[in-house]
């Protein structure tokens, strides 16, 4: 039998462990072959090598979650356990298929959390998808919007991003406003080109069946019968976020995606995404899905890069 431990630093034990240790008991129930004991600010785990590794991974994920959000819920514990036990969705899973792309390639969810995002959008009209780069939150959201359009569930798709200057000044970029903004929206175009044939995409955009625009263009509108995606939402201000969320009209779905660790706003401005999550987290009918480094589907190094930065979050880059 192997024993490992994890030390909880700068964490409220009551909030982390739960009332009467319900969070740890839930974790222990999921791994019955192992023993989990809480002693002061230390959690000891005894068992076989494979289960211990899984339990420590879940505990590390819960610690990171607590440091970000200040609390742990039963749903958080359950989600991380499920994710650890089934990191990837089976290739032949029928639930994983979203649609067929422009070359007949099936576009599927690839991880459990991506599947959770799909399920949350089915149940809720507004969903926040949070996670680092490469986790597929934008790509899966675009795929769901395209599927809804093809199935005639909605009449149009609206995709928007805040045009925040990350290292470049819009005023110094060449071209008219559309040409200045398009580079910020490039990932959206790339996703759509995978899913909608070139000529048909041009037809849809000409007739504004698919509309891609900067966030400022949403002001004053009511968006009915639409699938609306706000991407890179961490770069909205609280006022912009409230403006966007209140655009929702009848028979509409909204997905808000963002990475709260990559805010490009000036230092004196708060992130509208962070504030919205804090204000709305108890509101019924709104879904919250958190993706993490385990969901990264880009090059294998991307996952390692994300983990390395998370370990040293406060360091200034030269």
Query: Residues spanned by CATH 3.30.1370.10 within the chain?
Result: 2-85
Cβ 87 vs Cβ 56: under 8 Å: no
Q: What is the pTM of this model?
A: 0.67
Alpha-carbon distances, residue 133 vs 205, 249, 259, 303 (angstroms)? 27, 30, 7, 9
Cβ 46 vs Cβ 97: under 8 Å: no
Give the integer Cα–Cα distance in Å for 318 and 94.
47
- 2-85 carries CATH number 3.40.50.10420: no
**Residues of the chain below pLDDT 70:** 1, 83-95, 164-182, 297-300, 302-304, 306-307, 310-318
| Domain 94-311 -> CATH class | alpha beta
Give the integer Cα–Cα distance in Å for 133 and 315.
19
Query: Residues spanned by CATH 3.40.50.300 within the chain?
Result: 94-311
Cβ 140 vs Cβ 114: under 8 Å: yes
Give the integer Cα–Cα distance in Å for 160 and 63.
33
pLDDT digits (tens, 9 = 90+) for 55-97: 888 888 888 888 877 888 888 888 778 766 655 554 445 557 8
Burial class (CB in 10 A: 0-12, 13-18, 19+), 109: buried
């Amino acid at each position: 039998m192997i024993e490992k431990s994890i030390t909880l630093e700068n964490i409220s034990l009551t909030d982390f462990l739960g009332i009467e240790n319900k969070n740890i008991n839930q974790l222990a129930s999921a791994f019955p072959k192992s023993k989990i004991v809480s002693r002061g600010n230390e959690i000891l785990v005894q068992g076989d090598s494979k289960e211990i590794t899984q339990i420590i991974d879940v505990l590390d994920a819960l610690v990171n979650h607590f440091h970000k959000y200040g609390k742990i819920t039963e749903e958080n514990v359950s989600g991380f356990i499920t994710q650890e036990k089934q990191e990837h969705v089976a290739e032949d899973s029928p639930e994983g298929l979203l649609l067929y792309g422009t070359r007949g390639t099936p576009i599927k969810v690839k991880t459990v959390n991506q599947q959770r995002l799909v399920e949350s959008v089915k149940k809720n009209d507004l969903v926040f998808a949070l996670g680092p780069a490469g986790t597929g939150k934008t790509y899966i959201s675009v795929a769901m919007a395209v599927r809804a359009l093809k199935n005639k569930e909605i009449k149009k798709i609206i995709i928007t991003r805040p045009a925040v200057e990350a290292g470049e000044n819009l005023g110094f970029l060449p071209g008219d406003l559309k040409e200045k903004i398009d580079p910020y929206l490039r990932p959206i175009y790339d996703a759509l080109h995978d899913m909608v044939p070139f000529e048909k995409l041009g037809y849809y955009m000409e007739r504004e069946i698919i509309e891609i625009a900067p966030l400022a263009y949403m002001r004053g509108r009511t968006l009915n019968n639409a699938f609306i995606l706000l991407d890179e939402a961490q770069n909205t201000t609280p006022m912009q976020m409230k403006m966007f969320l209140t655009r929702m009209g009848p028979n509409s779905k909204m997905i808000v995606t963002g990475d709260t660790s990559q805010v490009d706003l000036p230092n004196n401005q708060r992130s509208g995404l962070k504030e919205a999550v804090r204000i709305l987290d108890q509101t019924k009918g709104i879904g919250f899905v958190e993706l993490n480094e385990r969901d990264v589907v880009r090059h294998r190094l991307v996952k390692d890069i994300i983990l390395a930065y998370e370990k040293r979050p406060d360091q200034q880059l030269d």
